[in-house]
A and B are shown apart, each in its own frame.
Chain A
Amino acid sequence: MNTRAWLRRRLLRLVRRPERAWGLGLILVLLVFVVIPLGYMAVHSFMFDSLGPRYVRGAVPGELTTFYWQRVLTGGLARSIFWQPFLNSLLIAILMTAIALPTGALFAWLVARTDVPFKGFFSAALIVPYIVPSWTVGLAWLTVFKSPRFGGQPGLLYAVLGIDPPAWLGYGLLPIVISLGIHYVPYTFILLRGALTTIDAQLEESAEILGSKRWEILRKITFPLVLPALGSAFVLTFGKGLGEFGTQAFLGLPIRYYTLSTRVYAAFQNRQQAEGYVLTLILILVTTLTVFANQKLIGARKRYTTISGKGAYHRVTKLGRWRRPATALLGAFILLFVAGPLGLITLETVMRYEGQYALSNLTLHYWIGAGDPMLAEGQPGIFRSSFILGAIGNSLQLAVITALVCGVLGIMLGYVVVRMRGTVLSRSIEFLSFTPYMIPGIAFGGIYLSLFARSWGPLPALYGTLTLLVLTCTMKYLPFASSSGVAAMHQIDPSLEEAAELHGARWGRRFVRILAPLAKSGFLSAVLLTLITTMRTLDLIVLLVTPQTRTMTSILFRFQQQSFTQHAYGIMLLIVIITLIGHFAVRRLGGKIEF
């Protein structure tokens, strides 16, 4: 066969089946925006940055050095730069997992398997802590326990009862662990509830017929079967907890309680890039190790599917005299940690002066008032301030564009991965598109700040543009979109497309007539999920925003640091409302919550 014939066939195939061409395009995108940034960071952690000469006499920026690794790991300041924050991060992750996992598991069992009442309500309400930003409970916590000793206004406890709460109650480890623990309860709850309802009931019934008691069945059959789900919940909670930023910043920074993520933030903020790279790499390494440790622990052999399709009807466990206490427990959790915090945050926004709990102190000034020089340095109400309205506009624009780009990329990615299943290209795309998931948001933002702020190759300097924010959010949230895309494309048997091809439908027509209608709901829920995730993201963009590209979360962060509490909490409330609406829209589309 001659070359021309071969070339002709190749070309014809490329036109007929676009997945290979797309696959190569996607690989290019992933190389530029995932692999190169990681490599760049790894290499530059061994080079003097622009501030290098300030630390080491005669250092030339760009020169190879192990200075930063030594400084972080073994130097005189290593304890305060790295080891103490690292231990804090670990402790936080361990303790918050210790709260989230058992609580979530207990709630899942109560709702899935017992005769506890109001299941629908509890199910819906227990998911709320996950939908709202992770620092919601943390901010609400402050309204109760903050103390004038650390700047700002008194909290509820001080104002009403006159008790000055000790620092450890208001800031640092304890409140961080509790608020993050609560935020992550829904992870375990959702995963375990799913596992508990899909176990083949016959597995448990067989044990019952053989004479096992309820408790024995739970211990010997049910628990081992849901262990893989519990393992995933552990990894998600622990891994994400390590990289959390917002809560740790709001509740840690006022008392100089540092964690790895706030150290990363500080390093980039102070333009100590190389140090930031070292800390980021360590943070990524620890997160990655968690994922692999889980795979080793649970093991591939135990990754049995518990979904059987039939026999999913489980007999309800009667709680008897425990029914009331169990109901009360669920109710108390929702009141204290779901409704309570949102109520407190709402209340805070309508108080003229913080800490004065009197009817006469109530006002809508911070929502609709014109500026008053005596209040928040004259910052007008949320709906009157062009600064805040601009941020809301930016946030919406960022979220919508990111969501659409992610959605389209996700579908393309899903198409390529599924249609080319088994090839190296497919595997690489799937693996690389998942990689950003392992990189904590604050670290991801840090990398993009140093790489794409300046002009780089054919890419223009992006610092201060919304494009940079869109790019960062798109790549970071690509794992959600791609897993939705892969799932959606899995639903569509290749023969459906081939049948259209037999009737002479070209790729465009196949996409419009067959693929798009069938992937519609998967696409929409991916878009909405990315939208609400982008709306509430702080850690990812906090390093990248400029006054022009301010977002709701970034000005919230700033207002909180300036003690413009009412404004901060008002914006918080808007974010909560938008994300909740988005979530219920996803639910109506039949979409699933992605982590």
Chain B
Amino acid sequence: MPIIAIRNMTKRFGQTVAVRELDLEIADGEFVTLLGPSGCGKTTTLRCLSGLEEPDTGEIHFGDRCVFSSARGVVVPPGGRGIGLVFQHYALWPHMTVFQNVAFGLRKKGLTRSEIRTRVRSTLGVLGLDEHEGRYPSELSGGQQQRVALARMIVTQPEILLFDEPLSNLDAKLRMTLRAELKRLHGEIGATTVYVTHDQLEALTLSTRIAVMKDGVVQQMDTPQEVYHFPRNLFVAEFMGNPTANFLPATVTSAGPPPTVALQWNPDVPLVLPSPTPLPESAEVVINVRPEDIGFSVTPQSGYLPATVYATLPTGAECITYGRLTPGGQEVVLKGPEEEHACLGLNQPFWLGLKRGNVFDAREGTLISSFGFSSREEDS
């Protein structure tokens, strides 16, 4: 039985539909990320789970308990749902000390003063905040405030943890540290977690499953590897990956297997896609290849496309190179170890080959086939 089940949930704000007929199931102990651009409905979904927002229609079940049902008029208030939430801006009460902030939720639970003190102290200890219990939030650094917010959430031992872009206000270094901490925390308490972010790296590193959302609809819900390598449609393919993957419009010239395609920009070079599945003859498709899945050569090779170097952006360990296909001029981006790319100078001609990728229906935008992956991956 899933611990969280959302059924047919819709939430409107005036004319705009924030969440549209959403169905979502999350198993006990999972770490699910709701990922998507701003306005995709991920935060609204989270707030509906927390009870701070009330859906227009649908049902929400936590385990065997119904916490919201529009049909039956069930609305369990946020405080009665057994959840914890960390807000984007932490929402620490500025007029209370760290201790008071964390203790707030315990005061109603009928605990004695000393019990409260023990529990607050031990929670603060877990998060390395022992020395700061007398401080006010404004006297803490961003990372420490974040930890207080975490402490305030977990001190009441909720079954479900909700996070609303909790790391977006921190600098890159601190974000990395806290990501590790969040993952450890999830492993330790094992509470089911729903985490909202627009940062794909955060989603990929933390989650057991990712739900990519757009316009209030879940586009794909899968493991991070699956979402990254086999995006179900063009939106997911475009959203995942940094820099954005390459999308090359093409026509299928021979069904195969292996199928052959001709690129719209450079139809003279027939491209044979290493795939065991045939493609419909003369179908309009989009070939999607990640930057790291493009090989290159400074000498012509069969099945490789000619291009020139537009710009190289070394980042230390690796290098991102932007090129332009010749003829055609379409931009392509490839990523590889810096020492390999070091030989590429400005405007220099080179040849690139598509090692593995996905084929999408150009009109529908849906995934029809993948190529170049080892068969084990393709089966999954």
Contact = CB atoms under 8 A, between A and B. Distances in A.
Interface of A: 1-2, 4-9, 12-13, 16, 493, 495-496, 498-505, 513-514, 517-518
A502 B85 contact: yes
B89 A495 contact: yes
A9 B70 contact: yes
Nearest to B71: A1
A483 B158 CA distance: 40
A12 to B, nearest CB: 5
Contacts of A495: 87-89, 91
Interface in B45-64: 50-52, 54, 57
Contacts of A1: 57, 70-71, 73
8 contacts: A7-B73, A496-B93, A499-B87, A501-B79, A502-B52, A502-B79, A502-B84, A514-B93
A498 to B, nearest CB: 5
Given A498-B52, A504-B79, A504-B108, 20 more contacts: A1-B57, A1-B70, A2-B71, A5-B70, A8-B73, A9-B70, A9-B73, A9-B75, A493-B89, A495-B88, A495-B91, A498-B91, A499-B85, A499-B93, A501-B77, A501-B78, A502-B50, A502-B85, A505-B79, A517-B95
B94 interface: yes
B138 to A, nearest CB: 13
Interface in B110-165: 152, 156
A499 B137 CA distance: 15
Chain B's interface size range is 20 to 34
A495 to B, nearest CB: 4
B104 interface: yes
A580 B108 CA distance: 45
Nearest to A423: B14
Nearest to B107: A503
Contacts of A514: 93
A7 B52 CA distance: 19
- Which of B80, B84, B89, B94 has most chain A Cβ within 10 Å? B94
Nearest to B86: A499
A474 B273 CA distance: 79
Contacts of A493: 89, 91
Contact of B83 (A2, A8, A502, A513): A502
Contact of B156 (A2, A503, A518): A503
A6 B92 CA distance: 34
Contacts of B78: 498, 501-502, 504
A505 to B, nearest CB: 7
A493 B91 CA distance: 8
B72 interface: yes
A518 B95 contact: yes
B54 A9 contact: yes
A3 to B, nearest CB: 10
Contacts of B50: 502
- Which of B52, B57, B69, B105 has most chain A Cβ within 10 Å? B52
A7 B72 CA distance: 11
A500 to B, nearest CB: 7
Contacts, number: 78
Given A493-B89, A495-B89, A498-B91, A504 B73 contact: no
Contact of B152 (A4, A499, A505, A517): A499
Contacts of A12: 75, 77
User: Is the contact region of chain B dominated by helix, strand, or loop, or is it mixed?
Assistant: loop
B74 to A, nearest CB: 8
Nearest to A7: B73
A504 B80 contact: yes
- Which of A498, A505, A513, A517 has most chain B Cβ within 10 Å? A498
Contacts of A513: 104
A135 B222 CA distance: 76
Contacts of B156: 503
A16 B54 CA distance: 11
Nearest to B105: A503
A514 B69 CA distance: 30
A518 B50 CA distance: 24
A502 B156 CA distance: 11
A517 to B, nearest CB: 5
A16 B51 CA distance: 11
Contact of A503 (B70, B88, B108): B108
A13 B152 CA distance: 26
Contact of A5 (B73, B77, B83): B73
A1 B57 CA distance: 8
Given A495-B87, A503-B104, A504-B108, A518 B94 contact: yes
Nearest to B149: A499
Contacts of A6: 73
A530 to B, nearest CB: 24
- Which of A5, A493, A504, A514 has most chain B Cβ within 10 Å? A504
Contacts of B80: 504
B114 to A, nearest CB: 20
A503 B73 contact: no
A2 B156 CA distance: 36
B168 to A, nearest CB: 14
- Which of A8, A502, A513, A517 has most chain B Cβ within 10 Å? A502
Interface in B8-65: 50-52, 54, 57
In the A-B complex, list the 6 residue pairs whose CB atoms are closest, starting with the nearest. A504-B79, A5-B73, A8-B73, A503-B105, A495-B91, A499-B91
A503 B108 CA distance: 8
B91 A504 contact: no
A126 to B, nearest CB: 33
Contacts of A500: 93, 104
Contacts of B83: 502
A244 to B, nearest CB: 42
A9 B51 CA distance: 12
Nearest to A513: B104
Contacts of A499: 85, 87, 91-93, 152
A509 to B, nearest CB: 8
A7 B75 CA distance: 12
Nearest to B104: A503
A493 B88 CA distance: 11
Contacts of A503: 79, 104-105, 108, 156
- Which of B54, B91, B105 has most chain A Cβ within 10 Å? B91
A498 B84 CA distance: 11
A20 B152 CA distance: 30
A259 B105 CA distance: 62
Contacts of B93: 496, 499-500, 514, 518
Contacts of A9: 54, 70, 73, 75
A503 B155 CA distance: 11
B16 to A, nearest CB: 12
Nearest to A2: B71
B73 A501 contact: no
Contact of B73 (A4, A496, A498, A517): A4
A7 B54 CA distance: 14
A504 B105 contact: yes
Contacts of B87: 495, 498-499
A491 to B, nearest CB: 9
Nearest to B50: A502
A414 to B, nearest CB: 18
A13 B89 contact: no
A13 B51 CA distance: 11
A452 to B, nearest CB: 39
A496 B51 CA distance: 15
Contacts of B77: 12, 16, 501, 504
Nearest to A16: B77
Contact of B72 (A5, A13, A498, A502): A5
A113 B267 CA distance: 70
A39 B270 CA distance: 81
Nearest to B87: A495
Nearest to B83: A502
Nearest to A15: B77
A16 B76 CA distance: 10
Nearest to B69: A5
A228 to B, nearest CB: 30
